């Protein structure tokens, strides 16, 4: 597979997003199945693994730490803080955005313990806490670098302006945001800012939360705890309109000689050399399918038709609910 860089690290062009081994899309797979996926990724040559304190309220970091501990020197380990589970007096654990220095220190120390490592290669601010200046949060994270607990810093779901402010305090190695054919917001400004500053753009949800895998035809079958139930694009009316895009999309995949999922990932790799996709999966079969996109070649004509077919004008619905949109800092297209 072709290689990409993230800070000083050279890694295969496709990493593994570990979230859905423990979180987000309904009942997660068993720990045994999660272990199979992680080890299969290692065997296939994946070296970048991305997790977070939020995923499963620590369960994902615990899984990744247990399985990958023996391979720690061979991988680039990434995690995130500033958005984690906090257990209240009622015994219920809730997600809390907290970018205060003391919270970030605590999150990092908890992550190191769960990951069974003494240093995290890339540590992201998972969400910018808008009650705390970004300079203050990045400053606190820079002290984690000074203490040897973290090697490099990242930001997640922030705008170009916020990236620049954070980068002025301490170099930002990576910026992570949703990016796929149906979520094109990074093209407004942040992709260019990353290129200008030498920041790797890590693209999560490259297959549009499963939509571009052609795997979900009836949103009524989604698990009650599946986060897509709160996303407007997966609401029945919007999703019915979005499904109309799939026949043309699948025809382009057939023309390219690949699966729909592979086409989505290959498109990202063709967009710019500083983009590094991190698809997630609970299946070894789908993992192998995703990784095969790393060596695909797409011609300019097909890429143009692909972008014209699925983009911010043809997709129905916002990517996040109103509450979730308030929690991120990414640019939006007019009318979003």
Residues with catalytic annotation? 55
Q: What angle do CA 286, 254, 301 make, to 5 degrees?
A: 115
Q: Rounded to whole angstroms, how far apart are CA atoms 299 and 196?
A: 26
Q: Measured between alpha carbons, how far is residue 252 from residues 184, 279, 284, 297 in Å? A: 19, 20, 25, 13
Q: Mapping DSSP to helix (H, G, I), strand (E, B) and coil, where does residue 274 land?
A: coil
Q: What is the DSSP string of 29-93?
A: PPHHHHHHHHHHHHHTT--EEE--STGGGGHHHHHHHHHHGGGGGGSEEEEEESEEEEE-TTS-E
Alpha carbon 298 to its chain centroid, in Å, reads: 23
Q: Mapping DSSP to helix (H, G, I), strand (E, B) and coil, where does residue 131 land?
A: coil
146 exposure class (CB count in 10 Å sphere: 0-12, 13-18, 19+): exposed
Alpha helices, DSSP H, located in the chain = 31-43, 59-68, 101-115, 134-146, 160-169, 190-197, 236-243, 246-256, 260-271, 284-291, 300-309, 322-327
Q: Mapping DSSP to helix (H, G, I), strand (E, B) and coil, where does residue 280 land?
A: coil
Q: Rounded to whole angstroms, how far apart are CA atoms 297 and 274?
A: 17
Q: Rounded to whole angstroms, how far apart are CA atoms 173 and 184?
A: 22
Q: Rounded to whole angstroms, how far apart are CA atoms 100 and 12?
A: 34
């Amino acid at each position: 597979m072709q290689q990409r860089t993230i800070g000083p690290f050279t890694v295969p062009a496709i990493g593994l997003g570990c979230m859905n081994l423990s979180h987000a899309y309904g009942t997660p797979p068993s720990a045994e199945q999660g272990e199979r996926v992680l080890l299969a990724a290692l065997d296939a040559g994946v070296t970048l693994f991305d997790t977070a304190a939020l995923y499963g309220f620590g369960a994902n970091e615990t899984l990744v730490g247990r399985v990958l501990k023996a391979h720690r020197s061979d991988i680039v380990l990434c995690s995130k803080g500033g958005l984690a589970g906090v257990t209240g007096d009622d015994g219920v654990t809730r997600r809390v955005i907290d970018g205060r220095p003391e919270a970030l220190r605590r999150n990092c120390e908890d992550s190191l313990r769960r990951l069974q490592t003494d240093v995290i290669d890339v540590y992201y601010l998972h969400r910018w806490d808008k009650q705390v200046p970004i300079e203050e949060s990045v400053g606190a994270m820079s002290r984690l670098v000074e203490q040897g607990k973290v090697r490099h810093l990242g930001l997640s779901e922030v705008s170009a302006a916020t990236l620049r402010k954070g980068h002025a305090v301490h170099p930002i190695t990576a910026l992570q945001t949703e990016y796929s054919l149906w979520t094109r917001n990074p093209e407004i400004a942040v992709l260019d800012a990353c290129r200008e500053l030498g920041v790797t753009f890590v693209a999560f949800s490259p297959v549009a939360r499963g939509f571009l895998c052609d795997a979900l035809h009836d949103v009524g079958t989604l698990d009650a705890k599946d986060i897509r139930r709160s996303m407007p694009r997966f609401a029945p009316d919007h999703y019915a309109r979005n499904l109309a895009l799939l026949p043309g999309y699948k025809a382009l995949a057939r023309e390219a000689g690949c699966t729909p999922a592979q086409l989505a990932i290959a498109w990202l790799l063709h967009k710019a050399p500083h983009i590094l996709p991190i698809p997630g999966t609970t299946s070894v079969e789908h993992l192998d399918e995703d990784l095969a996109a790393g060596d695909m070649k797409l011609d300019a004509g097909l890429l143009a038709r692909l972008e014209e077919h699925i983009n911010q004008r043809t997709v129905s619905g916002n990517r996040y609910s109103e509450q979730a949109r308030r929690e991120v800092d990414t640019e939006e297209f007019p009318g979003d």
